Chains A and B, each alone.
Chain A
Amino acid sequence: EVQLVQSGAEVKKPGESLKISCKASGYSFTSYWIDWVRQMPGKGLEWMGSIYPGDSDTRYSPSFQGQVTISADRSSGTAYLQWSSLQASDTAMYYCARLTFVYYDFWGHGTLVTVSS
Chain B
Amino acid sequence: EIVLTQSPGTLSLSPGETATLSCRASQSVSSSTLAWYRQKPGQAPRLLIYGSSSRATGIPDRFSGSGSGTDFTLTISRLEPEDFAVYYCQQYGSSGGTFGQGTKVEIK
- Which positions in A face B, CB cutoff 8 Å? 35, 37, 44-47, 49-50, 59, 61, 95, 97, 99, 101-105, 107-110
Interface SS majority for chain B: strand
Task: Let me know if A47 and B99 touch, CB within 8 A.
Answer: yes
Chain B residues near A50: list those with CB within 8 A: 96-97
B72 interface residue, CB < 8 Å from A?
Answer: no
Task: Let me know if B92 and A103 touch, CB within 8 A.
Answer: yes
Interchain pairs with CB closer than 8 A, number: 63
Q: CB < 8 Å: which of A102, A109, A110 contacts B35?
A: A102
The 4 A-B residue pairs with the shortest CB-CB distance, nearest first, are A47-B97, A102-B92, A103-B35, A107-B44
Task: Let me know if B97 and A35 touch, CB within 8 A.
Answer: yes
- Measured CB to CB, the closest approach of chain A to B64, in angstroms, equals 16
B84 interface residue, CB < 8 Å from A?
Answer: no
- Measured CB to CB, the closest approach of chain A to B48, in angstroms, equals 10
Interface SS majority for chain A: strand
Q: CB < 8 Å: which of B32, B56, B95, B102 contacts A44?
A: B102
- Measured CB to CB, the closest approach of chain B to A62, in angstroms, equals 8
Chain A residues near B39: list those with CB within 8 A: 45
Task: Let me know if A103 and B90 touch, CB within 8 A.
Answer: yes
- Measured CB to CB, the closest approach of chain A to B10, in angstroms, equals 13
- In Å, the complex CA distance between A61 and B44 comes to 21
Residue of A nearest to B57 (CB): A105
Could you jot down 28 A-B contacts, CB within 8 Å? A35-B97, A37-B97, A37-B99, A44-B88, A44-B101, A45-B39, A45-B88, A45-B90, A45-B99, A45-B102, A46-B99, A47-B97, A50-B96, A59-B96, A99-B92, A99-B97, A101-B32, A102-B50, A102-B92, A103-B35, A103-B47, A104-B45, A104-B97, A105-B47, A105-B50, A105-B56, A107-B46, A109-B43
Task: Let me know if B44 and A108 touch, CB within 8 A.
Answer: yes
